[in-house]
Amino acid sequence: MNIKEIKINKTKILKLLKTLPLLTANHAFFASLILFLLALLIGSVLFYKYFISAQKIDLSDIDNSYLLNEEGYKELKNTWQNHEIMLERSDSKEYPNPFIKTLPFPG
């Protein structure tokens, strides 16, 4: 079995890439049709992958019991309550203006 080496002609590819914008501008309808069909194809592949094939998966063997870490939940609840208390205290506290004595205003 002989493996043939593929030679890539860079000048032809560069020439094609330079003329591609002009070609698409001259054939705008066909270019937009190709882009529309490409978007339709990609959308249908994604729809099949994430919607239709997801419905085919058998979920009957999945265990529905979930365990909740009670200690972690209580600690998280206490943390959020402490944050809420600190926020409530910060609303009522008046802070002095640090710029009154430091900025000399011409008078």
pLDDT tens, residue by residue, 57-105: 776 777 766 777 889 999 999 999 999 988 887 766 677 777 776 555 5
Count CB-CB contacts under 10 A for residue 3. 5
Cβ proximity of 24 and 31 under 8 Å: yes
More confident residue, 92 or 4: 4
pTM: 0.41
Q: Characterise 106 by phi-psi region: left (phi > 0), alpha (psi -120 to 50), beta (else).
A: beta
pLDDT tens, residue by residue, 5-29: 888 889 999 998 899 889 889 999 9
Q: What angle do CA 25, 26, 31 make, to 5 degrees?
A: 60
Predicted local distance difference test score (pLDDT) of residue 69:
84
More confident residue, 4 or 47: 47
